[in-house]
Structure 1
Amino acid sequence: MAAGSIVVDFPSMGAALCFPNLESLLRDSASGFLSAVSAAPAPGAADLTNFHRVFSRVLSTYSDPPLEVVWFFSALSFHDRPDDLRSLLQLLSAFAASSPGAAKPLALLAPVVSELFHSDKPRRETEAVVEAVLSYISICSSRPAPSSTEGTTADAVRLLPAFGDLVKVWSVRHSRERCPFQVLFPLAGDEARRELMKEGCSVDYLAGVVLVEAFLLRLCLKVQNATGVPRSELQKELKIWAVSSIPVFQSHQFFGVLLNMLLNSPLPVYSLVSADDEILVRDVLYDSLILVDYSFINNGAGVDLLPVYVSRLIITLDAVNDARRKGDQGRAVSFINAFSTSNIPNFLIKWATCQAGSGALSKPICNTPQAILSMCKYGTTSLVFIYHVLWTVYSSRNVYVFFSQSGLLTLKIRGSKCLEITVLGL
């Protein structure tokens, strides 16, 4: 992104506009846009001609324009045709054509997903656009990650501080009283929105949030359309769709945001489905995220798996307890088996024994999932917490976890006999 001054020249008028930097241009323009929209005699009646001229010029100076510039220009275009979501999707995808990798093209889609959520169009029409969005997401997700020769990786690209002003531009059409981030990211959940509000949030994280919202929106529309379908049959159909969709995205950020949503209740879908259907959506997510081991998660180069694996550890315990409360012991056992045969136990125990060796056990013990995940980011999760959760999961199968000088042992017990001893994490 441009760090120097921005000069917008209008030769035919013999004039030019000068801004100290791109940040200043965006902030001033967003403020002017909001003032013009507020002063307009009717919705959609604001005169935004000058903004069109300025940003058309600005865009022409970039081969791969910054996300914030594209968002502002597309907001101007959408203001003129607020019901044409397909044109908005085409416009945003056109600006992303030259972007290396998938992160920025996916992040650009946030306004489309938001408008689909708020849309009062017939359900069939909305679904058609949602399908178009998911098809575009599939195409983008198949792009190879940018190489080092193509510049900075998506994870290192950060949103400008003016990103919050652009969120206001896109949210003002629907509400001026509510938090703009709640309006533009209605299905993101509070934790994801707080992350987006932080200055310097990555474009890659924003892309993951957009993927989660598009995924949840389609899932909820499927639930809405399933009137009269037996619940067990519907859950099976939704699981099949979810399991086939998740690997298409190939996004660790998507997977992490979705896992973190499951740590909180209810899911942020309550405005789309009933309370009973929210439980159904949660069950579908439990099945999709616990019972299936996705290769793209384990094979990601340079990805910090600790937060993902701890999240999966916690939601596995939640899912097991939930199944037992409902009297579904078979489902509880399925969750335990999936966890036991995954890479997670060995990974966590190996990590925990390393922490024990470095003196990390002297640090305070976390008591809540949120605190655990927060500490995970800095590598100080308590070994004691991991031990207790592993013990809880394994003890249901008469397998107990113990400390020893050799590391952590699992002992399989039947009656008074020890049938099997396994050393983990060495």
Structure 2
Amino acid sequence: MESMNSSKQSPFLGENYEFTLEQSIQNVLAEIREGNLVFSQFMEGFYELIQARADPPLESIWFYSALTFRSRISTMNGDFLDRVATMKILFQTTCSCSAPCGSSKTIALLAPVVYEVYKLISDMLGKDLFSKREKKAMREVKSLVETILGFINLSSCKDSDQNGESLDFNLVTPFVDLISIWTNSNEGLDQFLPLVSSEVRGEFSSGVCDIRRLAGVVIAETFLLKLCLDINSGRSRQDLENDLRIWAVGSITRIKNFYFFETLVRFLLEATLPVMSLLSTEDEALLRKILYDALILVDYSFLNDEKAINLPADHVAFLAVKRLILTHEAIEFYREHGDQNRAISYLNAFSTSLVSSQIIRWVKSQIPSHENVNHPKGSSPKIFLEWLFKAEDHGVRVFDSTISNRRAKLVLDTSKSVSGHPTSEGNSVDDELLFYIDKQGENENGSEEEDRVMDETVNAALVSAAHTMSTTQNGLEKKKRRRMAKKQKKIKFTKYDLVPNSDATELRSAVDDNDTDSDSEVHNPHLDEDSDMKE
């Protein structure tokens, strides 16, 4: 009898729960379409839906936190400090409701919090902050962003993604309907996900939303907010660049999220970064430089095939191709802007990374075993892209839908001669340009002391990856002078201590005598593109 009475008292058993949740959502959306912004009568229903499940659906928490937040902002007067206080309450509400949830769902639920924080930061950066209250609000919002990142860091260590949550990562309710509880009538995905490309937003507007992908976007946007706030801090550019590079590498290493990394790569593949409301053009260039270094010069262990076994093989392969394209475009970008040291460092980093081997394995797996597949005749991104274009002739699907529309431009880029890019005569290798390989990953349950040691290791183990550059010569005497110089002597690198006070690592290299006909102004003895391209 007690069991029967319990069943009568709980209307959320079996299919009743899904029906009640869907009906509750539709009732709220109908009120929004009617222009009614009073939702207090729905709050208790969503709270009961949350309490009825050990692991509540994302939609139930999302709508409950939205209704709670809307009831608070209706009484606000627009003061920055009051808005920060309200966002802290929203963050705390979301965190408490998502405590039983898996890693991806917990992080994805923060999307509205990040959206509201972004709007506040945009408003604050758009005006001069003179009063003590306004300056305090800026300090508080910076602290909130760091707190959100800390929570994401902890949530990334959850194991529950490998348990029940991994059975289904899709939302039932269309994502564009979900965000309408947060946005105004004249807003949409462009405003709700402001720091990602239109291409990424388009994936959420059509089809089913993958919670893991949404979590990756949330991490990326919070990560970018932190970088933008630090860049706006007014610190010395050189010190800021070095510190933020090391911080970015350490954060990516700790979080270990495939979709987060992929979102950053796609972010950088945009011609103009979607941060113009937060940064000036000069600051945007600094952000791009920091992210290029963090994504290209580091080989992260969590991106290895062994660590990505829960992801489809083609997804891992397509990310490797995106990283290849990113490296190629970064090299061309810095060649055009005269930063030959960085261009060479990216070439070297690619040649020693696992990206090339991932791409080769993928192509081989897609070609029938009776067909012979020659390896790329070189290890530069440009040569790999040309090799991939040829692999397409064998029926290999090289580019996914997010990259296919860039193919024509890539073909044109790789067909261009790299001659004509000026070098800076007499430039010395930039000792601050660093390279770090995350071979082992990070201790899953590391202590604060281990984190501190990891940070120091990252800082110390970053090494100079740049080699020499050939001297710029103009006119018809250019090649003649090169040949004469080659006959007279070999150019060698002297010993270089990679880590101060370390006797474990030294760098020694020499220029290859057989590369005299390279047309590249950036000459790398390990990666001579032009000679390798001749088949």
TM-score band, normalised by shorter chain: 0.7 to 0.9
Report SS of the residue matched to 1:54.
helix
Aligned match of 1:239: 245
Aligned to 2:496: none
1:373 aligns with 2:432: no
Check the 8 A contact 1:310/1:373 in 2, yes or no: no
Query: Are residues 1:160 and 2:172 paired?
Result: yes
Mapping of residues 257-336 of structure 1, within 5 Å: 257-298=263-304, 299-303=307-311, 304=313, 305-336=316-347
| Alpha-carbon distance, 1:273 to partner | 0.5
Question: In 1, Cα distance between the equivalents of 2:43 and 2:357?
Answer: 57
Structure with bigger strand share is 1
Structural mapping, 1:20-419, within 5 Å: 20=19, 22-33=21-32, 35=34, 38-39=35-36, 46-82=37-73, 83=83, 84-100=86-102, 102-119=103-120, 120=123, 122-147=137-162, 150-153=163-166, 156-172=168-184, 176-178=185-187, 180-225=188-233, 227=234, 229=236, 231-298=237-304, 299-303=307-311, 304=313, 305-357=316-368, 361-362=392-393, 372-374=399-401, 413-415=514-516
CA deviations 1:358-406 (Å, max 9, x no partner) are 786447899xxxx9332789xxx99xx89x969999xx999xxxxxxxx
State the one-letter code of the partner of 1:126: V
For 2:180, what is the secondary structure of its paired residue?
Answer: helix
Larger radius of gyration: 2
TM-superposed CA distance for 1:152, in Å, is 4.2
2 CA distance for matches of 1:166 and 1:419? Answer: 52
Alignment check: 8 A CA contact 2:317 2:359 kept: yes
- Whether the 8 Å contact between 1:8 and 1:58 is mirrored in structure 2 is no
C-alpha distance 349-66 of structure 1, shift in aligned 2 (>3 A): same
Identity rate, percent = 33
Maintained 8 Å contact 1:64/1:95: no
CA deviation after TM superposition for structure 1 residue 29, in Å: 1.7
TM-score, normalisation: structure 1: 0.77
Aligned 8 A contact 2:28 2:39 in 1: no
Q: Could you say which residue in structure 2 is the equivalent of 1:405?
A: none
Q: In structure 1, what is the Cα distance between the partners aligned to 2:281 and 2:288?
A: 11
Distance in 1 between residues matched to 2:8 and 2:289, nearest whole Å: 53
Distance apart, 1:28 and its partner CA: 2.3
**Aligned amino acid, residue 373 of structure 1:** D
Provide, for residues 115-154 of structure 1, a one-character-per-residue CA deviation record: whole Å limited to 9, x for no partner.
100114632121011111011111101112534xx32417
Whether the 8 Å contact between 1:67 and 1:108 is mirrored in structure 2 is yes
Distance 1:352 1:134 in 2: 37
The answer on whether the counterparts of 1:29 and 1:51 sit within 8 Å (CA) in structure 2 is yes
User: Kindly tell me: are residues 8 and 54 of structure 1, through their superposed partners in 2, closer, same or farther at Cα, counting changes over 3 Å?
Assistant: farther
| Distance apart, 1:414 and its partner CA | 2.7
Give yes or no for contact 1:134–1:214 (8 Å, CA) kept in 2: yes
Letter in 2 for 1:201: C
Give, as a single letter, the amino acid of the residue that structure 1 aligns with 2:164. G
What TM-score do you get using the length of structure 2 for normalisation? Answer: 0.62
1:199 Cα offset (Å): 2.5
Q: CA, structure 1 residues 191+414, in 2 after alignment: closer, same or farther (shift >3 Å)?
A: same
Q: Which of the pair has the greater relative contact order for Cα pairs under 8 Å at 6+ separation?
A: 2
Q: Report the CA distance between 1:309 and its aligned residue.
A: 0.8
* CA RMSD across the alignment: 3.7
**Higher mean C-alpha displacement, 91-100 vs 250-259:** 91-100
| Residue 33 of structure 1, CA deviation | 4.2
State the SS of the aligned residue for 1:372: coil
Find the aligned partners of 1:307 and 1:338 in 2 and give their Cα distance. Answer: 19
Structure 1 residues 260 and 8: alpha-carbon distance in aligned structure 2, compared to 1, 3 A threshold: farther
Contact residue 208 and residue 251 of structure 1 kept, 8 A:
yes
Question: Residues 61-95 of structure 1: CA distance to partner in whole angstroms, max 9, x if unpaired?
Answer: 22221111111110111112233111111111111
1:26–1:162 Cα contact (<8 Å) kept: no
**Residues 350 and 275 of structure 1: CA distance in aligned 2, closer, same or farther (over 3 Å):** same
- Quick one: structure 1 residues 363 and 32, their matched pair in 2 at CA, closer, same or farther if it must change by over 3 Å? farther
Whole-angstrom CA distance in 2 between matches of 1:108 and 1:136: 12
Indicate conservation of the 8 Å contact 1:306/1:376, yes or no. Answer: no
Distance 1:276 1:373, change over 3 A: farther
C-alpha separation between the residues in 2 aligned to 1:28 and 1:362? 53
Contact kept in structure 2, 1:247 and 1:294, CA below 8 Å: yes
Once residues 268 and 393 of structure 2 are traced to their aligned partners in structure 1, the CA distance between those partners, rounded to angstroms, is 30
Which range is displaced more, 73-82 or 23-32? 23-32
C-alpha change, 1:153 and 1:376, in structure 2 (3 Å) is farther
CA deviation vs aligned residue, 1:176-206 (integer Å, no higher than 9, x gap): 223x112211112212211112221211011
Structure 1 alignment gaps of length 5 or more: 1-6, 12-16, 40-45, 399-410
Q: Deviations over 1:313-332 (max 9, x none)?
A: 01101111111112111111
Contact 1:345/1:390, CA 8 A, preserved across alignment = no
Contact 2:366 2:396 (C-alpha < 8 Å) held by counterparts: no
**2:378 aligned partner:** none
